[in-house]
Amino acid sequence: MAIRRKVIPLQDAASPGVSMARKIDWESHIGRRIKLRDLHVFFTVAQRGSMAKAAAHLGVSQPAVSEVIGDLEHAVGVRLLDRSSHGVEPTTYGLALLKRSAVVFDELKQSVRDIEFLSDPTVGELRIGCAESIVAAILPPVIQRFAQQYPRVVLHVHRLATPMLELPELRERRLDLVLARIVRPLANENDDLHVEVLFEDRLVVAAGVHNPWARRRNIGLAELVNEPWILTPPDSWTGMMVAEAFRARGLDMPRVAMTTFCFNLRTSLAATGPFITAVPSSIQPLDLNRFLLKVLTVDLPAGPCSVVAVTLKNRMLSPVAQLFIDHVRAFTTSMAAGFEAEQQSA
C-alpha cells in the first residue's frame, strides 16, 4: 500500500521576518517525526557543505540523505538549507536548529558519561581549557593529586591563547571547563557563563639567576625600560598589566624583544640570556628555581587579576568535572592562604 505524505508548504527562508504559516504542534507532529538519526544527518550535511559529501561520510546514498533533509523540512514547515550548485548552507532556521540540537547531543553524551561514572567512579574523561601560565602555576599539583585518586580518568588539556572570555570552545561544548584570568568585570553578553573566582594573582618581574639584575636589590622600574623584555602579546593579561605598570610610573613601554604565549620559551630564554620577563606570582619558588629564574625586587604597580573557573550556566556538569573543580578549589584555597601568611610575615 502506498504511503501518502501530507505536503506542508515551506516558508521562504529568504523572508525570516514573515510569521510562521502555522503553529507547530510538538506532541502530535514534531515529537513523533523527528529522530536523532535525522538530526545527525542534518548536522553532517551542514558541516560538510553538500549532500554528496555527507552521504559519503555517513556511508549511505545521496538520495537517502536528501530524503531525510526533506522530511525534516516538512516536519518543521520551513526550509533548513539553501541549495546551490556550490553545495548547501543552513538558512536562518537551519542555524537555529543546529544551535539547539547541539545542546541535545551534548546532553546525551553527558548522560552517557554520567552513567559510565556511576557504574565505575574511577573512569571518565574531561576537557579542560586554560592559559599556559595557569598550566605552569597550578595544574601540575592539581593533576597529580587528581590522577592518584582517579587514575583511569582521561584529562584533555587544551591551551587557550587569550584570557578574554569569548570562549567559543566552551559555548560550543568542545570544552567542559575553562581556567582563565580576567582583569575586568564581565560584560552582559557573558550572562550564559558561570564564573567562580579561585584566587587573586599578580605579576612579578623575573630574570635568569645569572642575569646581573638578579644580584640587584630595590630596582626601579625606570631602570628596566631599555632592557630586552619577552612578553605575551599586548592584548593578553601579562602584556596589559606590564603596560599598565609602566604607564602608572609615567614611563613608555619597555623595549620588547619578543612576544609569545609559549611559557616555556619565555622562561627558557630569560634563564639563559639577557632578557627580562614577567610571570604570575602564583608560580611557586621551587618552580622558579627549576626554570632557573629569580624574581627581581621591582615594585610593579599593576593591579591583580582574578583566576577563575568558567563553565556554562545551562549545562549540568558531569561528576568528573565536579570532582576536578573540587580539587582545583581545594588547592587554590590552600595556596591563597599561604600567600596571605607570607605577606603577614614579610
15 falls in which pLDDT band (50, 70, 90)? very low
pLDDT of residue 251: 92
Question: 203-303 maps to which CATH number?
Answer: 3.40.190.290
Mean of pLDDT values over 150-173: 78
Query: What 3-state DSSP class applies to 244?
Result: helix
- 232-272 pLDDT tens trace: 888 888 888 899 899 999 999 999 999 998 888 998 999 98
CATH class of 120-196+314-345: alpha beta
State residue 3's pLDDT score: 35
Reported confidence tier of residue 223, pLDDT bands at 50, 70, 90: very high
Report whether pLDDT(133) > 70.
Answer: yes
pLDDT digits 0-9 by tens, 101-116: 777 777 777 777 777 6
Q: Give the span between the Cα atoms of 273 and 269, in whole angstroms.
A: 6
CA–CA separation, 309 and 177 (whole Å): 7
Phi-psi region of 220 (alpha: psi -120 to 50; beta: other; left: phi over 0): beta
Q: What b-and-e string marks burial along 216-254, b requiring 16 or more CB atoms within 10 Å of the CB?
A: eeeeebeebeebbbbbbeeebbbbbbbbebbeeeeeeeb
For the segment 52-80, the average pLDDT, to the nearest whole number, is 86
Please determine whether the domains at 120-196+314-345 and 203-303 fall in the same fold group of CATH: yes
Residue 261 CA to residue 162 CA, distance in Å, equals: 9
pLDDT of residue 156: 92
Least confident range of 24-38, 131-145, 315-329: 24-38
CA distance 299 to 246: 11
CA gap 127, 312 in Å, rounded: 13
Q: What is the mean pLDDT of residues 143-171?
A: 81
- Residue 334: other Cβ atoms inside 10 A: 10
- Residue 166: pLDDT band (50, 70, 90) is low
Domain ranges of the chain: 26-104, 120-196+314-345, 203-303
Please tell me the distance from the alpha carbon of residue 73 to that of residue 7, in angstroms, as a whole number: 11
Quick one: pLDDT at residue 19?
39
Which residue matches cell numbers 625586587?
297
- Convert the pLDDT of each residue in 289-342 to its tens digit: 777 889 999 988 877 888 889 998 877 788 888 899 999 999 988 887 766 665
**CATH code, 26-104:** 1.10.10.10
pLDDT of 139 strictly over 50: yes
